[in-house]
Amino acid sequence: MSTPYDDLRAPVPVAGPAARVVSLVPSLTEALVATRREAVVGATDWCTHPADLDVVRVRGTKNPDVRRIVDLAPDLVVANREENRELDVRRLREAGVPVWVTVVETLDEAFTAMRRLLLEGLRWEVPEWLEEAERVWAAPPTTTPSGAPRVAVPVWRDPWMVVGPGTFTGDVLARLGCRNAFADAGERGRYPSVEVTEVDDPDRVDRVLLPDEPYVFTAADGPEAFRRVPTALVSGRLLTWYGPSLVGARAELERVVTIAGGT
């Protein structure tokens, strides 16, 4: 079999089904564990799902312990262009460790990237959870364009930052039949800094979803900033993770958006 290429078109030498895998991406860790738990031997400190995962921890997504990863002798390290640094990927490759880098900015890219990683990078089979997630998200939105709620998703406060254009979360909103209220903020970047008054503006925003990552919004930290637009707390996994959580994410997000809208 010819040498496969990762999502950045870098050749990744793989000898056969991977028996030892290190994941540097929380959502990919959950996906790999759900598919072949015994093969995952290392993960970052941020890999919190499943909660009972007992593997070697290799620090964070932005500062992985390269030496520790090398010592684990993985058949493959799994990374992501947005989550991980090119420097760490290069150091691992220079140490002789195969690294597969994924690129995910839309739901379709998530499904394609996962299939390629599983089939070509890991030489595993496609799991049932991935096929079910694809089926769930293939259904059309339940709202019409004219009735699509305008949704804002803050990801940080002090300074306030929101989900902007060209993001996985923005695509999730679109597939739900929602409109990202800050999709037109391209000149300010993919996660633009904003004034809270821009978000708490019923002429622009119908609903605000407050996730628990990367900033941990809670009932006591976040909703009090919005007096004019309804808010709802939501698991960040539903908006940003592209693993098994996608199976139930659509129904839960549709419920939360409805609650946030007060209908």
Residue range 182-193: mean pLDDT, rounded: 85
Q: Which one-letter amino acid corresponds to residue 173? A: L
Would you state the pLDDT for residue 263? 42
149 and 247 part of one domain: yes
Instruction: List helix spans (H) across the chain.
Output: 26-36, 66-71, 86-94, 107-116, 128-138, 168-176, 196-199, 236-240, 246-260
This prediction's pTM = 0.89
* Residue at a domain's end among 96, 126, 156: 126
CA distance to 1, 37, 91, per residue, from 58 (Å):
31, 17, 15
Bridge partners, residue 43, by sequence: 23, 57
Tokens matching residue 112: 């394609």
In a domain? residue 84: yes
How many domains, the chain? Answer: 2
For residue 125, how far is the Cα from the chain centroid? 22
Percentage of the chain lying above the pLDDT 90 cut: 87
d(CA 128, CA 198): 42
Would you state the pLDDT for residue 43? 98
154 and 247 part of one domain: yes
Residue range 214-236: mean pLDDT, rounded: 96
Strands 150-152 and 207-211: parallel
75 and 178 part of one domain: no
In a domain? residue 3: no
114 and 170 part of one domain: no
Q: Given its phi and psi angles, is residue 157 left (phi above 0), alpha (psi -120 to 50 degrees) or beta?
A: beta
* Residue at a domain's end among 71, 95, 126: 126
Would you state the pLDDT for residue 135? 96
Would you state the pLDDT for residue 261? 59
The SS3 assignment for 8 reads coil
In a domain? residue 137: no
In a domain? residue 139: no
pLDDT at 212 over 90: yes
Tokens matching residue 165: 């254009």
Would you state the pLDDT for residue 256? 87
63 and 158 part of one domain: no
* Residue at a domain's end among 79, 95, 126: 126
160 and 234 part of one domain: yes
CATH code for the domain in which residue 91 is found: 3.40.50.1980
Structure confidence by residue, pLDDT tens digits, 85-112: 999 999 999 999 999 999 999 999 999 9
In a domain? residue 48: yes
CB 244 within 8 A of CB 29: no
Residue located via tokens 């870098």 = 10
In a domain? residue 1: no
Residue range 151-173: mean pLDDT, rounded: 95
Would you state the pLDDT for residue 137? 96
76 and 162 part of one domain: no
251 and 166 part of one domain: yes
In a domain? residue 191: yes
d(CA 99, CA 83): 14
Percentage of the chain lying above the pLDDT 70 cut: 95
pLDDT at 144 over 80: no
Would you state the pLDDT for residue 145? 58
In a domain? residue 10: no
Domain range for 229: 145-260
Residue located via tokens 């089939």 = 119
99 and 154 part of one domain: no
pLDDT at 39 over 60: yes
Average pLDDT of the chain to the nearest whole number: 93
Residue range 21-28: mean pLDDT, rounded: 97
108 and 162 part of one domain: no
pLDDT at 217 over 80: yes
Best CA proximity match to 31, nearest among 39, 180, 263, 191: 39
110 and 156 part of one domain: no
CB 171 within 8 A of CB 107: yes
Q: What are phi and psi of 227, to 5 degrees?
A: -110, -15
201 and 238 part of one domain: yes
pLDDT at 139 over 50: yes
d(CA 221, CA 163): 18
Residue range 207-230: mean pLDDT, rounded: 96
Model confidence band, residue 57 (pLDDT cutoffs 50, 70, 90): very high
